[in-house]
Amino acid sequence: MKKENKIKKQNIPVSKGFGIAGFILSLIALLSLFVVSYVGIVLAILGLIFCIMQFKRGKTGLAIAGLVLSIITLSIGIIMIVAIVIIWQAVKNTIESGAGEIGQVAGNLGA
């Protein structure tokens, strides 16, 4: 008689570590976005990566919440950086065009 090797499937609970880490990183990213936008964007990317890793292991509520927070934070961060660049260029152009006018006014006052 041959013995049959039966492999029993064990119900191993899905670890929630990556989901928790992704959620916390995403939350910190959202809070730090308004202080230092680059740090917030980097943390949001890391949170997004951890949440995706959690999805591969098994979906959890915190992974879904972290994924949503990461996407929102990245969207706000990109909009903020684009707005800062546009405002910076506008201020720079205003200063450069206004420098000639200031020089003319100063020349008229001295004459």
Read off the pLDDT of residues 1-23 as tens digits, 9 standing for 90 and up: 555 556 666 666 668 889 999 99
Asked whether residue 4 is assigned to any structural domain, the reply reads no
Place of tokens 């200063």: 95
Q: Which residue has the tokens 């006014």?
A: 105
Alpha helical stretches, state H, 1-111: 17-32, 37-57, 61-110
Collapsed DSSP state (helix, strand, coil) of residue 15: coil
Asked if residue 7 is part of any domain, the answer here is no
Residue 27 has pLDDT above 90, yes or no: yes
Give the global pTM: 0.70
Residue 97 pLDDT: 81
The per-residue pLDDT for range 50-95, each reduced to its tens digit, is 999 998 988 888 999 999 999 999 999 999 999 999 999 999 888 8
In the block, tokens 């065009």 appear at 97
Residue 79, domain extent: 17-106
Q: Are 49 and 82 in contact (CB under 8 A)?
A: no
What's the pLDDT at 106? 55
Total residue length of the chain = 111
CB 20 within 8 A of CB 62: yes
Domains in the chain: how many in total?
1
